[in-house]
A and B are shown apart, each in its own frame.
Chain A
Amino acid sequence: MTAETLIALVACALVGIGLYGLIVQPHPLRKLVAFNVMGSGVFVIFGALARRGAAAGMPADPVPQALLITAIVVAFAATAMTVALLLRLIESTGSASLAAEPPAADGEAR
């Protein structure tokens, strides 16, 4: 098993870990962090595929890597937009809950 295959398998685990965090964490910011972990796992799988395409004197296929640069930048833009939405939610409703009936601020469910 080459190092690239090992890295790709670890990246599959990263996707799973991120997905678990996305479902289980109640606070939207934690969900966002888990979502970013999941996204980075997907990027690494793609990067391992790029490495497998080494040819013509280049150590890796440059086309997927260029797409990955675009992906990382767009992921940052999406994260920034989500953070702005979250801050606005807190400003308007006073809580960061995504439930229909948010709990009271001291932690008691209504």
Chain B
Amino acid sequence: MSFALDLFSVVAVSGGALFYLAGTVGLLRFPDAYTRLHALTKADNVGMALVVIGLMPQVGGVLAGLKLVLVWLLVVFSSAAVSQLIARTARRRDART
């Protein structure tokens, strides 16, 4: 049972790492701020969710698992708000030039 849980953790965290890699490639290769923001926030949020799911079998107890979920929710919330603010600033800057 523990081997299956460890395997699940490795697979999930590796999947999360792949999504982070995809987001970073998007950051480096996409042409402008909006597409980069899209790649970063979407891919990083899914990657974070996969990492948190993968870590759930490894923590001891429900409370620690809930703390991990809280961390994920805070990251999703902050990145959503910040990406909107960055996009708005980029829009204003483009409108001025």
Direct contact of A and B (CB under 8 A): no
Residue ranges of A at the interface with B (Cβ–Cβ < 8 Å): none
